[in-house]
Structure 1
Amino acid sequence: MARCEPQDPPARFPPAAPDAVHDSPPRWRKVLYAQQPYEDTHTGETFLEDLVVNATIPHRDYATVVWSTLVVDQQLSTVAAVGSASFNVYKGTITARQLLLVDVLLMLLGSLLYLVACAWAGGTTAGDAAAEAASSCSLASAASSPTKPGWSQQHSPGSSMQGSPWPSPYASPSKQPPLSAATSVQGGASSWRAGWTAALDGAGSLASLVVATALLSPLLGTLTETVSSDSIIACACLLQLAHLFLHDYHFSAALTSHLSGSLALGAAVCGSVLIASRLGSPAAVYAQLLLSLELYILGPYCRRQVAAASPTAHLLVTVAMAAGVAALLARQSVLLTSTFLCALTFVTFICPMWLVRIHKFKAAINGPWDEAVPRLSRAVTRQLSQCELSVR
């Protein structure tokens, strides 16, 4: 007789509600003022789609970076020239009269370079304005011609023009308004008048500077009599290094527009005063201070104008300054000359190579987590500008 084994009881499941509706949560929207069933820190599935890497990082070219280092070479040559001239005067290899003659020659040469650069830059600007006016006239006539309707868009003279491959390393002070055809005809004469006006203003400032330096020379010559020469040399070297570090190499309006530029100029002048106080005679102090003021205060403006006028002239001025300083250092020591030339080579060629090579590791990440930047419409911008003009 077959044996009957007990069967397991049937499994019991909770009864499912037949009318239950499972609503899926609404899709998250990137809206600030909206009631959504999500936390404040919630991020949607498309959060990383707006990720941008190196959006504002410019591409660095080795030749362009090398060209930008010429202003650093010029300032380094300036510091070396002041130090070498002071050392030669201190040792007696250069007399105070010879240094004063060099000051006068540098003053005349700098004024001449500044005037020629102003005239050259003004003539170039006038020529560009005339060419732009002529091209606009030709484009207008071509646009009005029924025979060639699309010629002005395809064969525009300015459409294929590229910027200068070696731009000025200094920032442009301000954008000048476009010149008309009548104004561009008188561009050369106006540039000469502007150059002469600037030269006369500079001559007045220079005359007051020369007189003030002459009056203060006897006092500055005895400023550090109770201090040892080693301490003076150490402080002067530190001040010159601070000047090289803080100097505004791409100034737009003035050397002292920013705090770093003011500190750099103050450090350079203070170091020059400390060095001049060890020269002894008032004539030597006067000659050394005049050379320092010319190179530190007036020199950058002249070099900026030359760089704006012609890239070739900017390169020639840099080479001439480096060669002159090397010849001056060669009278003291071959080691100093070699160190100076090695420093120029390092700054001009090695540092740009490092910068270009490590630039590929730059990673600037931008995305929806960045702070919002308000964008004003043209109407609001125009109203704000009108309010500013009315307040002025």
Structure 2
Amino acid sequence: MNDRSLPAIRKWRKVAYGGMQPGFDDNHTDESFLEDMVTNANVVKRDLSKVILDSVSISQYLCTVTLVVLVWTYTLASSISFRSLLLLDIALLVSGFIVLLLTAEMISLNLFAKYILNILYFIIGLYALSPIYHTLTRSISSDSIWALTTMLIVLHLFLHDYTGCTVKAPGSLTNPSFSSNISLNTSIIASVLIASRLPSWQLVFAIVLFSLQVFLFAPFVVYCIKRYSFWLYLWFSLGLVGLTLALVYRLQGFLFGLLLGLLVFITFICPYWLTRIQKYKFEINGPWDEAKLCFDITE
């Protein structure tokens, strides 16, 4: 019999949008299907020391929020007077601008004057609204206020942008993410709720001004320090952690142990776990993935 009389064997080929090929099932694959498979092409190998240094930003901001809560606690207990709070607000504002002038890049006098003017408008508006904030939650029980404030602070910590990606340069901010906006709003609401439990509207003004300086202005100042010198930022963070632990220890020993354990867990245990579980990561890439368009615009 002549070989030409035998039916030709049709070879399967990969067709993206050609429909079914005659003689083959729709889900048919041949031996060449896995030839282009690549494993762990985009997996990043993490270094333990680098991950620990990156986790410092989380521990540092956790201590910052803890300091705010401590000031709230002492103010509610009438351990801090209005004059002391006002001096603290002025000290934070002046020190923040000094750090900004020393560490920020290419800041002009016009931009600095714009900052001052915006903050003055903000302070005047807050001073005018303080009597309203003082009576805002008069019909709500204190237990509900404490529970709601705790949930808002936890949500703020969970959604906060610890990378500082929303800050590029003085006067130049990228569009913040949806989670960052929620985090900032929750901190402001928590500050107002706490302030509404104070005995006078002057204390309301001082405590809200303090809280908003920390939640709004402090992340930008810390970012400028980190961009200027990472080691200066690291020593600043260590000093802030030490100050927070000392103040919490004076308040209560149990809270000191809880905060210390949480800081150790975040700074050392979590990075160790992250680097250890990297060996179990298994990523598969191949021609079945979605196509990635690359354009050459060198001309």
- Fold equivalence (TM over 0.5): yes
Q: CA deviation at 1:292?
A: 0.6
1:19 and 2:19 matched? no
- Between structure 1 and structure 2, the one with the greater Rg is 1
Equivalent in the alignment of 1:372: 291
**Equivalences for 1:189-208 in 2 at 5 Å?**
191=106, 194-208=107-121
Of residues 260, 281, 289, the one that matches 1:362 is 281
Distance, in Å, in 2 between the alignment partners of 1:249 and 1:30 is 46
Give the % identical residues: 34
Structure 1, residues 61-105: CA drift from partner, whole Å, max 9, x if none? 111111111221222112111111011011122212111111111
Q: CA deviation at 1:303?
A: 0.7
Equivalent in the alignment of 1:93: 79
Of residues 47, 51, 56, the one that matches 2:42 is 56
Contact 2:196–2:204 (Cα < 8 Å) also in 1: yes
CA RMSD in angstroms comes to 2.1
Distance, in Å, in 2 between the alignment partners of 1:243 and 1:100 is 25
Equivalent in the alignment of 2:170: none
Q: 1:308 to 1:26 in 2, by over 3 A?
A: same
Of residues 161, 166, 176, the one that matches 1:252 is 166
Distance, in Å, in 1 between the alignment partners of 2:42 and 2:108 is 38
Equivalent in the alignment of 1:181: none
Contact 1:69–1:348 (Cα < 8 Å) also in 2: yes
User: Which consecutive residues of structure 1, in runs of 5 or more, have no partner in the other structure?
Assistant: 1-17, 123-190, 383-392
Q: 1:199 to 1:316 in 2, by over 3 A?
A: farther
Of residues 262, 265, 271, the one that matches 2:190 is 271
Distance, in Å, in 2 between the alignment partners of 1:104 and 1:264 is 25
> How many residues were matched structurally?
290
**TM-score where L is the length of structure 2:** 0.89
Q: CA deviation at 1:29?
A: 3.4
Distance, in Å, in 1 between the alignment partners of 2:153 and 2:288 is 44
Contact 2:166–2:175 (Cα < 8 Å) also in 1: no
Q: CA deviation at 1:337?
A: 2.3
Amino acid at match of 1:47: F
Amino acid at match of 2:91: L
Amino acid at match of 2:278: H
Distance, in Å, in 1 between the alignment partners of 2:246 and 2:119 is 28
Structure 1 segments of 4+ aligned residues over 6 angstroms from their partners: 33-36
Contact 2:134–2:195 (Cα < 8 Å) also in 1: yes
Q: CA deviation at 1:298?
A: 0.6
Q: Please identify, of 239-248 and 33-42, the stretch whose mean Cα deviation from structure 2 is larger.
A: 33-42
Structure with bigger RCO (C-alpha 8 Å, 6+ apart): 2
Q: 1:231 to 1:33 in 2, by over 3 A?
A: closer
Of residues 10, 13, 20, the one that matches 1:29 is 13
**Equivalences for 1:374-389 in 2 at 5 Å?**
374-378=293-297
Q: CA deviation at 1:375?
A: 2.4
